[in-house]
Chains A and B, each alone.
Chain A
Amino acid sequence: MRLPPDEAERLEALHSYRILDTPPEEAFDDLVRLASRICGTPMALVSLVDAERQWFKARVGLDVPQTSREVAFCAHALESPRPLIVNDALADERFARNPLVLEDPHIRFYAGAPLLTPRGHSVGTLCVMDHVPRELSVDQIEALEVLSREVLSRLELRRHVMELSRAVESYERGAVERQRVERHQAAQQGATEALAEGLSVEDAIPRVLKAIAEAQSWAYGALWRRDSTAEVLRLAATWSADPEATRTFIESSRAVACTPGVGLPGLVWEAGDMVFLPDLQKDPHFLRAPAALRSGLNQGLGAPVNLGGEVLGVLEFFSHDMEPLDDELRRVLQSLGTQVAQFLERDAADLELRSNDARMRSVIENMLEGLVVVNGRGRIESVNPAAEQIFGYPAWEIVGQPLKLLLPHSVADHAEAFLADAYGRAIGRVTEWEGRRKNGEVFRFELSLYEFLSPDGRLLAGHVRDISDRQRLERMKKEFVATVSHELRTPLTSIRGSLSLLGSGVLGEIPPEAREAVEIAERNTVRLIGLINDILDLERIEAGKVEIHVEPLELATVFERSIEAVRGMADTMHVRLEVEPATARVDGDAERLVQVLVNLLSNAIKFSPRNEVVRVTSRSEPGFVEVRVADHGRGIPDSFKEAIFQRFQQVESSDSRQKGGSGLGLAICKAIVEQHGGTIGVESERGKGSFHFRIPAPGTRLPATP
C-alpha cells in the first residue's frame, strides 16, 4: 500500500477532529444524501482514512461501517487534491481485482473528492459510487468538491467546538482551583483571627478548628495537647459541625491518652509530619474506629502543632469524604500548626501567671492582716477584705480615694507628711500608728510597709494589724492585776502585823515550836507582800504612771544610800561589800536609782557564798556613766542573759523559794533604767557575775522610750 507523503501530519490532523467511531450526525448524513442525489448514484459516503482502515462517518446505500484501508478506493483519493474519478472499475487496473468490485457491493463507478484540511492534508473523502459504469458532468464534479469542503468545514467546526469546550472546561477547572485556594485562605484567616483574639485555649482553639474544618467542609476537628508532666497527648479542644452526632466520638477521644506512635495523634507526633488516613475502618493504627463509625466519620487527617521542631500538640480532622492532602492545604496546615503552637506556649505561660496570680490573690484575700496599697500620689490602689473590716469601708468606697480618709483628722491634713514619715520609719519594720475607721473611731494599728514597682509606677503596700483589742485587753489585764494586788495587800498587812506581834512576844510568851511556826508564816507573808508590791510597782512604771524626777545627782549619794539599805542583809549572809568611791555626777531620780542598785546588790548578796565579796564600781564613759555590781555567785548561763530581765525569770525555778524574791526585781530595774534612757545588762561566767547599768551622762539624756 502506498502511503501519501504527508501520512503522519494527515493522521494527526484526522485525530485532532476526534471524529472516528463517533455516532452518526445529521449534518453529515444530509451531506451524503445531497451528494448521492446530485450525482445520481445509489451510494455515497463520508470516509475517513486512518492508519489501518477507512471509517464512514455518514453513508448512503452501504451497510458496512468501515473497510480495511487496503481495499479502499478512498486511500487512492488521498494522493491528490483533485477528485478521483473511476468511471469503470473493471476497466481500471488499480481496481479491477478489488474485492469491493468483484464482490458485494460490486462497485463499478467511484468519484471521491478529498477532505482537505486548511493546511492541505487529506483526511478522507466525500465519495459517490454506483454498481454500473458511468460519468459525472463537470457541474456534478464541482458540486461534489463543494460538498466535500462543506464536510471538512463541519469537521473544523466540530474541532473548534471541542477546543472551546476544553477551554471552558479548563477555565472551570481553574475556578475550582481558585475556590480551593480561597477556602485555604479563609481557613488561614479565620484561624489566625481566632488565635489573635482568643484569650485561652478553650476560647480560641474551637474557633480555629471551626475555621479550618468549615472551609474544607470537614465534619470534625480537635486539638490534642502534650501533657507537660506525662509524655502523652490529651484531647484539649474540639469543634464539630454536628455536635450531637460526634458526641460519642468526642467521649471516646477524651478517654484516650496517646503516646508517640499510638493512634492518629501519636502517629503524627512520632512522624512530626501530617498523616492522612483514607479509611479509618481499615486502619490498624486508628483506635477510635468504632466510635468514628457511629459518628459517621471515615477519613482522618492529622497535622503536627510544632514549634522549633518540638511537637506541642496535634490537630486532627475527620470527615466523610475528604480530598487528599494537596500542597496548598499542607502549607496552610503547617503554618497554622506553628501559629497554634505559639498560642499554646503563650497560653501555658499565661496559665502559670494566672495560677500564680490566683494563688497570691487567695493569700491576700484570706490573710488576717489588712493590706492597703497606696500609689505614688497617695491614693489607695487596693485593699483586701481584712483591711475593709479594719477600717469599716467596703473596697469600692475607698479605692481611688486619698489615703487621708483612713487617718485621724489630726494627721489627715498632713497625709503627705504621714506618708513620708511612714516611708522613713515603717519600711520593713513593724511600727505603731493611729488610724480612723469609717465610724470615726480612732484606733491604733501596727504597720509595716514595703515598696514595689508595678507597671503603674511605684506602689507602697502596708500591712495593717489592728491592735486596739490587744491594747484594750492589756489595759484591762493591768487594771485587774493592780486591783487584785491592792485588794490582797490589806488582808496581808493584817496577817503580817498579827504574826509579827505574836512572834515578838509582846503579846506573851509562846512555846518555841509555836514561835517557829509563826516565824515561817510571817516570812512567807513578807514574801507575798513583796511580790505584790513589785507587781504593783512594775505595772505602774510600765503604764507610765510613775513619773521619774530627774535632777543632777552625786552618784556617791546613791551608793551610800544603797549600801546602807543592804548592809544588814550582807552582814547576816556573811558577805563583804566593797565600794569604790564614786565621783561621777548623773541626771536621775535618786529614789529610783537607789531602788535599782539595792536590787542588784541584794541579788548579788543573796547568791554569794559566805565570806565572798560583792564589789560596786563606776566609771564615766563618753555619753554615759556605768555602775557595776560584781559578785562571786554561781553566775548566769548565757542562755539566760536576755530572759533574766523579764518577769518571773529566775535561773532556777527553786530560786524564789530558796532565795526569796518575787522574780520581778530585775524587770523593775530594767523598766527604771530604761525610763532614764539607759540600758541594763549582765556579763557572767561560772562562779562570777557582773550586772551593770548605764545612765546617760549629764546633758546627754535622751527622752525615754515609752
Chain B
Amino acid sequence: MKVLLIEDEDDIRRVARLSLSRVGGMEVVDAASGVEGVHRAEEESPDAILLDVMMPGLDGPSTLAALRSNPRTASIPVVFLTAKAMPEEKTRLMDLGARGVLTKPFDPVTLPAQLRAALEGR
C-alpha cells in the first residue's frame, strides 16, 4: 500500500514516515506542504493520503478540496491528521469528505493500524 503523507512539520513527518514504513510496512511518499502534496498525489497516485489539517498556505481542508477538484486525484481516500480532537471538529472534517480523522499526538506504534482502520471505515 502506497501512502502519501502531507505534513509541514519536518520531524513529525519523519516520525510518521518511519511509523508507516517500518511498523506498517507501507510504501510512503511525502510532501511538506499542501501545494506539494497536490502535485505528489497526481504524480504518485497513492492508495491513501494522510493529510495534516493545520498547515501554512494551503491548509488541510483546502488541499482536500484541490485534490477533489482534480479527476486524477478526486477518488483517493483522504484521512486527516489533526491536533484538534474535539468531536465537533471531527464531524466538520468528515463532512468535508474525509474517510477518517486521526488525532495528534499519535502513537507511531499504532498509527498504521489506525490508518488502516480509518480507511476501512471502522
Q: Taking beta carbons and an 8 Å cutoff, which residues of A are in contact with B?
A: 486, 489-494, 496-498, 500-501, 504, 506-507, 529, 546-547, 549, 591
Partner of A492, one of B16, B105, B107: B105
Contact B23 A497 (CB under 8 A): no
Of B33-41, B72-80, B83-91, the stretch lying at the interface with chain A is B83-91
- The answer to the question of B104 belonging to the interface, with a C-beta cut-off of 8 Å to chain A, is yes
Interface pair B23/A506, CB less than 8 Å apart = yes
* A496, B109: Cα distance in complex, Å: 11
With A501-B23, A504-B109 already in contact, the answer to whether A494 and B15 are too (CB < 8 A) is: yes
Assess the A498–B23 pair: CB atoms within 8 A.
no
* Residue B12 is within 8 A (CB to CB) of chain A in the complex: yes
B18–A489 touching, CB < 8 Å: no
Counting from the closest, the 5 A-B pairs by CB-CB distance are A497-B15, A494-B11, A493-B105, A497-B108, A506-B22
Q: Within B13-45, which residues are at the interface with A (CB < 8 Å)?
A: 14-16, 18-19, 22-23
Contact of B19 among A490, A491, A501 (CB under 8 A): A501
- Given A500-B109, A504-B23, A507-B22, are A493 and B104 also a contact pair (CB < 8 Å)? yes
- Whether the Cβ atoms of B87 and A591 lie closer than 8 Å is yes
Residues of chain A within 8 A (CB-CB) of B15 are: 493-494, 497-498, 501
Please classify the interface of chain B as helix (H, G, I), strand (E, B), loop, or mixed, using the class held by over half of its residues: helix
Report how far A546 CA is from B65 CA in the complex, Å: 28
Asked if A500 contacts B108 (CB within 8 A), the reply is yes
Count of B interface residues, CB-CB < 8 Å: 20
Is A490 within 8 A of B12, CB to CB?
Answer: yes
Q: How far, in angstroms, from A547 to B18 measured CA to CA in the complex?
A: 37
Closest to A508 in B: B22
Q: Complex formed: what's the CA distance from A490 to B19 in Å?
A: 17
For residue B87, which residues in chain A have a CB less than 8 angstroms away from its CB?
A: 549, 591
Known A-B contacts A497-B16, A507-B18; the reply to A491 vs B11 at CB < 8 A is: yes
- Report yes or no: A489 in contact with B88, Cβ–Cβ below 8 A: no
Closest CB of chain B to A495's CB: distance in Å? Answer: 8
Chain A residues lying within 8 Å of B88, measured Cβ to Cβ, are 547
Closest to A493 in B: B105
Would you give 11 A-B contacts (Cβ < 8 Å), ordered by A?
A: A490-B83, A493-B105, A494-B11, A496-B107, A497-B15, A497-B106, A500-B109, A501-B18, A501-B23, A501-B109, A504-B23
Q: Which residues of chain A are within 8 angstroms of B83 by Cβ–Cβ distance? A: 486, 489-490
* Nearest CB of A to B30, in Å: 14
- Complex Cα distance, B107 from A504, in Å, reads 11
Return the contact of B106 from the options A493, A506, A507 (Cβ within 8 A): A493
For B104, the chain A residues whose CB sits under 8 A away are: 489, 493
Q: How far is the CB of B112 from chain A (nearest CB, A)?
A: 10
Question: How far is A591 from B88 in the complex, measured between Cα atoms in Å?
Answer: 12
In the complex, which residues of chain B have a beta carbon less than 8 angstroms from the beta carbon of A498? Answer: 11, 15, 18, 108
Q: Which residues of B contact A497 (CB under 8 A)?
A: 12, 15-16, 19, 105-108
List B contacts of A506 (CB < 8 A): 18, 22-23, 109
Complex Cα–Cα for A498 and B22 (A)? 12
A529 to B83, CA, bound (A): 12
| Inter-chain pairs besides A489-B105, A501-B19, A546-B86, 15 sampled, C-beta below 8 Å | A493-B104, A493-B106, A496-B105, A497-B19, A497-B105, A498-B18, A498-B108, A500-B108, A504-B23, A506-B18, A506-B23, A506-B109, A507-B18, A549-B87, A591-B87
Question: Are the CB atoms of A494 and B22 closer together than 8 Å?
Answer: no
Residues of B within 8 A of A547 (CB): 88
Q: Are A494 and B18 in contact (CB under 8 A)?
A: no
Alpha-carbon distance between A283 and B14 when the two chains are bound, in angstroms:
115
Residue of A nearest to B83 (CB): A489
* In the complex, chain A residues whose CB is within 8 Å of the CB of B109: 500-501, 504, 506
Question: What's the least CB distance linking B6 to chain A, in Å?
Answer: 16
Bound Cα distance A492, B12 (Å): 9
Residue of B nearest to A525 (CB): B105
1/0 per residue, CB under 8 A from A, across B93-122: the answer is 000000000001111110000000000000
B-chain residues with CB within 8 Å of residue A489 when the two chains form the complex:
83, 104-105
A residues in contact with B107, CB < 8 Å:
496-497, 500
Enumerate chain B residues within 8 angstroms of A493, measured Cβ to Cβ.
Answer: 12, 15, 104-106
Give the CA-CA distance A496 to B104 in the complex, in Å.
11
When chains A and B are docked, how far (Å) is the Cα of A553 from the Cα of B22? 43
- Complex Cα distance, B88 from A547, in Å, reads 9
Measured CA separation A330–B59 after assembly (Å): 108
**Chain B neighbourhood of A549, CB < 8 A:** 87
- Taking the closest CB of chain B, its distance from the CB of A144, in whole angstroms, is 159
Give the residue name and chain of the A residue nearest to B85 (CB).
A533
Expressed in whole angstroms, the minimum distance between the Cβ of A314 and any Cβ of chain B is 89
| C-alpha gap A547/B86 in the complex (Å) | 10
Chain B CB within 10 A, most for which of A489, A494, A504: A494
Interchain CA distance A506-B15 in the complex, whole Å = 12
Cβ distance B86 to chain A, nearest Cβ, rounded Å: 7
| Chain B residue at minimum C-beta to C-beta distance from A492 | B105
Set of chain B residues within 8 Å of A546, measured between Cβ atoms: 86
- Interchain CB contact under 8 A, B12 and A494: yes
CB closest residue in chain A, given B11: A494
A496 to B15, CA, bound (A): 9
Contacts of B11 in A (CB 8 A): 491, 494, 498
Chain B residues within 8 Å of A500, by CB: 107-109
Distance in angstroms from A594 CB to nearest chain B CB is 12
Q: How far is the CA of A539 from the CA of B88 in the complex (A)?
A: 18
By beta carbon, the residue of chain A nearest B86 is A546
Chain B residue, CB-CB nearest to A540: B86
